[in-house]
């Protein structure tokens, strides 16, 4: 059997077809011993190995053996059962990782948008529980400024100087502060601030329009609006709270092979985010 390249397993009535080398990723596991006919628990029936275990959970084990990464659905909850199955098959590096359930569970992410409309300007402050999300938004949002004469302000196409991008204010890793609209400057001129949010290419000066585009961007990114409240009515400060379930970073199992050894497995956090 060790020379066969394709192995067929029937686990609890669910059929799996894979390579022998995939099942031998962990030489000390029962699956590797099965390939070598060294485990009586797996019965060979009509050319297929049969084992009376949970077939649905085994599909996650097969994905792990093929990728050496732990990638579970966002709504997955059977961590203890999957850990028990991993232990049964002798996949102890995976079982050890599953025992640290808190590392693999999705986490709730909160984002708050404060919106203050004052005279001809609108102030925004975005606070997020995840600094990586704030960093991503900071790369999407650009504020442009330019001057134009008061005489031409009410004309359909006022003349203005080229717009210059401004850096966003970052009070902390969890905050973004910016504003849009106009204000007076010397020599009867307006200073205008426009906001652009990628991938939208428009430059918006109206605060309500910017708020709408920001909402649309957050909703497309998986957030949902959960509450709206007035923080300070006299200052016209509105607060909008969003949340989303963000999956933990993926984990990869690294095999360190040394001559004459069967390999040592270690888990490390993947640099690639496994979904949101």
Which position has the higher pLDDT, 165 or 267?
A: 165
| High-pLDDT (> 90) share of the chain, % | 49
Tell me: do 82 and 149 sit in the same domain. no
Q: What is the pTM of this model?
A: 0.58
Tell me: do 86 and 122 sit in the same domain. no
Residue 175 covered by a domain: yes
Tell me: do 117 and 214 sit in the same domain. yes
Question: Three-state SS for 86?
Answer: helix
Residue 18: CATH number of its domain:
3.30.710.10
Q: Tokens 């204010």, residue?
A: 169
Instruction: Give the side-chain half-sphere CA count within 13 A for 92.
Output: 8
Tell me: do 80 and 139 sit in the same domain. no
Please check the confidence at residue 273 and state whether its pLDDT lies above 50.
Answer: no
Residue 187 belongs to domain spanning:
108-246
User: What's the rounded mean pLDDT across residues 6-33?
Assistant: 92
DSSP string, 209-263: HHHHHHHHHHHHTT-EEEEEEEEEGGGTEEEEEEEEEEPPPPEEEEEE--TTS--
pLDDT at 77: 83
> Which of 79, 104, 129 is the last residue before a domain boundary?
104
Of the listed ranges 94-108, 122-136, 148-162, 199-213, the one predicted with least confidence: 148-162
Residue 54 covered by a domain: yes
Residue 272 covered by a domain: no
Which position has the higher pLDDT, 105 or 125?
A: 125
Instruction: Give the side-chain half-sphere CA count within 13 A for 52.
Output: 2
Q: What's the pLDDT tens digit per position in 171-218?
A: 999 999 999 998 876 666 778 899 999 999 899 999 999 999 999 999
User: What's the rounded mean pLDDT across residues 103-114?
Assistant: 84
Are 241 and 227 within 8 A, CB to CB? yes
């Amino acid at each position: 059997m060790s020379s066969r390249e394709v192995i067929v397993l029937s686990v609890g009535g669910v059929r799996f077809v894979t390579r022998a080398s995939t099942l031998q990723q962990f030489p000390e596991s029962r699956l590797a011993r099965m390939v070598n006919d060294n485990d009586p628990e797996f019965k060979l029936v009509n050319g297929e190995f049969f084992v009376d275990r949970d077939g649905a959970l085994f599909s996650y084990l097969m994905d792990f053996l093929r990728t050496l990464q732990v990638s579970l659905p966002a709504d997955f909850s059977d961590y203890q059962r999957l850990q028990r199955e991993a232990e049964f098959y002798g996949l102890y590096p995976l079982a050890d990782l599953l025992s640290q359930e808190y590392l693999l569970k999705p986490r709730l992410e909160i984002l708050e948008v404060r919106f203050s409309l004052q005279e001809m300007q609108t102030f925004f402050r975005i606070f997020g529980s995840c600094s990586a999300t704030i960093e991503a938004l900071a790369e999407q949002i650009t504020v442009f400024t330019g001057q134009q004469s008061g005489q031409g302000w009410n004309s359909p196409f006022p003349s203005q100087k080229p717009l210059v991008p401004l850096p966003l204010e970052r009070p902390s890793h969890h905050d973004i502060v910016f504003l849009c609209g106009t204000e007076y400057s010397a020599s009867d001129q307006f200073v205008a601030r426009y906001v652009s949010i990628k991938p939208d290419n428009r430059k918006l000066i109206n605060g309500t329009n910017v708020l709408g585009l920001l909402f649309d961007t957050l909703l497309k990114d998986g957030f949902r609006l959960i509450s709206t409240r007035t923080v300070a009515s006299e200052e016209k400060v509105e607060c909008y709270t969003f949340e989303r379930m963000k999956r933990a970073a993926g984990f990869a199992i690294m095999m360190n092979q040394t001559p004459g050894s069967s390999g040592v497995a270690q888990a490390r956090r993947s640099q690639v985010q496994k979904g949101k």
